[in-house]
């Protein structure tokens, strides 16, 4: 299907933390017509996210932080989420181990890549690699909380898996990547309970 789309024009209209481009796109339709579309694309790089699960305590490690987009949309100012961050040129597995340490204080050893997804494919180029990892209480080697020089002030929240999952239904967890990760966990409870990744 890619050969039905042609980018005719592209112009950067904003470049700071994110980059915004205006595009003129030509699209061939199934009925033989060709149309031109004006579109905008927001780009701030690829990301990774991780579900941290402690099988001994049956808890997931989440973070709560201020989210500007949710705040401006009239939602909660602080969202409960799984740890995540931009790749910043690193491989996804390396990037998410770094982010998990910065945000939660947990050292992450082996990770398992679950799947990739686009957060909002209509306008965002961001593709997120989702991982899972097992941790224990002894793996928490620092307080976490984010990097002060990046103005991150993050609360670490540990919850029983089922309680976190029920918070989706109650509306207390509304972050998409976190909902996907918790749903995966509930579908794979046996794997988590046995504390191993299948070969």
Per-residue pLDDT of the chain (199 residues; tens, 9 = 90+): 678 999 999 999 999 888 999 999 999 999 999 999 999 999 989 999 999 999 999 999 999 999 999 999 999 999 999 999 999 999 999 999 999 999 999 999 899 999 999 989 999 999 999 999 999 999 999 888 776 666 678 999 999 999 999 999 999 999 999 999 999 999 998 877 776 655 4
Provide the 10 A C-beta neighbour count for residue 141.
10
- C-alpha of 36 from chain center: 32
Closest by CA position to 27, among listed 4, 3, 2: 4
Q: Parallel, antiparallel, or unpaired: how do β-strands 59-66 and 47-54 relate?
A: antiparallel
Gap between the Cα atoms of 63 and 77, Å rounded: 13
Whole-model pTM: value is 0.90
Domain 47-193 has CATH 3.40.47.10: no
- The residue ranges of every structural domain in the chain are 2-43, 47-193
Gap between the Cα atoms of 137 and 152, Å rounded: 23
């Amino acid at each position: 299907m890619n050969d039905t789309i042609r980018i005719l024009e592209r112009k950067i209209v904003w470049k700071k933390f994110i980059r915004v481009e205006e595009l003129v796109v030509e699209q061939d339709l199934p009925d033989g017509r060709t149309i031109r579309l004006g579109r905008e694309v927001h780009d701030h790089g690829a990301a990774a996210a991780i579900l941290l699960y402690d099988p001994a305590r049956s808890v997931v490690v989440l973070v709560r932080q201020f989210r500007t987009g949710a705040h401006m949309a009239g939602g909660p100012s602080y969202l409960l989420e799984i740890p995540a961050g931009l790749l910043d040129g690193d491989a996804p597995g390396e990037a998410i181990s770094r982010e998990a340490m910065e945000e939660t204080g947990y050292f992450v050893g082996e990770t398992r890549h679950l799947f990739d997804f686009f957060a909002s494919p209509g306008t965002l180029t961001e593709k997120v690699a989702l991982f899972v990892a097992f941790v224990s209480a002894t793996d928490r080697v620092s307080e976490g909380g984010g990097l002060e020089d990046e103005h991150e002030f993050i609360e670490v929240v540990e919850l029983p898996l089922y309680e976190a999952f029920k918070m989706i239904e109650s509306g207390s967890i509304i972050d998409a990547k976190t909902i996907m990760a918790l749903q995966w966990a509930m579908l794979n409870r046996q794997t988590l309970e046995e504390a191993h990744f299948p070969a």
